[in-house]
């Protein structure tokens, strides 16, 4: 079993559901990035536009760029990959020019198809997260795979290299709790499509409901780590999390255990 890639979340926003406002200025964001590097992060995911399903504030492309660009420029020499969490091609391009190396698109290219051109031009890996504007399914897993495959085909048509494509099942987006559980149960079917899979459950509703009683967002990290292990068992290659250190330690220990058990 290969070492799991840990993508650490760095939101430069006032309205993200978990840590909105904590890293709004460049200095605090860079300090958090340094902490994540010390904790063993592989990818720092910089976002300037909240991706919460509801309750966010619309901002212009210019504002989004102004939030993320100075942070990316400040951390580009930290020795880890930097992904830009955006669905806008102009923001992705500005981030690439500032030093980002990957694109994380929560709309899988359906909002702004030109984002594939940016990925191809910069030879940048792109994460395609399952999302849509209807949220209705005959079979949530089969329909999810079909829609992601459509985005993969489009990416390839735009010149994105096959080895640069990642898939994300989109936990927390356009799915009921039961549909999310079905996706988690059948993650191996998404893995079997043949592209590396990123799992992003950190502190989300599905994780909250694993815990008895009410919990604040930053109290859900242990439950999140349980989904990390489940994902590893199903074959995912990376997880997107807030608590880098916990997931790094747990995933590394799990890999070591499997190696020891295999002799």
Domain harbouring 59, CATH code:
3.20.20.20
- Domain range for 175 is 5-261
The reported pTM is 0.93
Catalytically active residues are: 204, 240
| Residue 68 Rama label (left phi>0; alpha psi -120 to 50; beta) | alpha
- Pick the closest to residue 47 from 68, 74, 27 (CA basis): 68
Q: Sort strands 81-85 and 165-168 into parallel, antiparallel or unpaired.
A: unpaired
Is pLDDT at 22 greater than 80 in this prediction?
Answer: no
Total domains in the chain come to: 1
Q: Which are the contacts of 157, defined by CB distance < 8 A and separation ≥ 6?
A: 116
Rounded to 5°, the CA angle 186-19-51 comes to 55
- Pick the closest to residue 224 from 197, 249, 243 (CA basis): 243
pLDDT, residue 57, reads: 74
pLDDT, residue 17, reads: 47
Q: Give the tens place of pLDDT for each residue, 193-240.
A: 999 999 999 999 889 888 876 788 888 999 999 999 999 999 999 999
Q: Give the tens place of pLDDT for each residue, 147-182.
A: 999 999 999 999 999 999 999 999 999 999 999 999
Q: Give the tens place of pLDDT for each residue, 180-190.
A: 999 999 999 99
Is pLDDT at 85 greater than 60 in this prediction?
Answer: yes
Beta-bridge mates of residue 103: 84, 126
Among 54-58, 91-95, 181-185, 234-238, the range scoring the smallest mean pLDDT is 54-58
Residue pair 119/98 in contact (Cβ under 8 Å)? The answer is no
Instruction: Enumerate long-range contacts of 219-224, CB under 8 Å, 24 or more apart.
Output: 221/246, 222/246
Answer with the residue of higher pLDDT: 23 or 33: 33
């Amino acid at each position: 079993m290969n070492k799991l890639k840990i993508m650490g979340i760095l939101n430069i926003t006032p309205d993200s559901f978990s840590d909105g406002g904590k890293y709004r200025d460049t200095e605090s964001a860079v300090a958090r990035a340094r902490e994540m590097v010390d904790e063993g992060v592989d990818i720092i995911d910089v976002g300037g536009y909240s991706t919460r399903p509801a309750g966010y504030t619309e901002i212009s492309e210019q504002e989004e760029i102004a939030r993320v660009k100075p942070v990316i420029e400040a951390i580009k020499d930290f020795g880890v990959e930097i992904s830009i969490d955006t669905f806008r091609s102009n923001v992705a391009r500005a981030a690439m020019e500032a030093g980002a190396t990957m694109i994380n698109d929560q709309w899988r290219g359906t909002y702004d198809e030109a984002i594939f051109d940016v990925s191809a031009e910069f030879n940048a890996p792109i994460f395609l997260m399952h999302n849509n504007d209807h949220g209705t399914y005959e079979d949530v897993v089969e329909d999810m795979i079909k829609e992601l495959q459509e985005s993969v085909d489009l990416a390839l048509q735009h010149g994105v290299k096959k080895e640069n494509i990642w898939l994300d099942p989109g936990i927390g987006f356009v799915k009921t709790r039961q549909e999310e559980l079905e996706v988690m149960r059948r993650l191996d079917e998404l893995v079997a499509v043949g592209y590396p899979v990123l799992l992003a459950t950190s502190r989300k509703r599905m994780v909250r409901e694993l815990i008895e009683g009410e919990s604040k967002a930053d109290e859900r990290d242990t439950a999140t780590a349980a989904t990390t292990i489940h994902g590893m068992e199903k074959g995912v290659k990376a997880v997107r999390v807030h608590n880098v250190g916990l997931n790094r330690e747990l995933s590394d220990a799990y890999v070591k255990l499997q190696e020891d058990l295999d002799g």
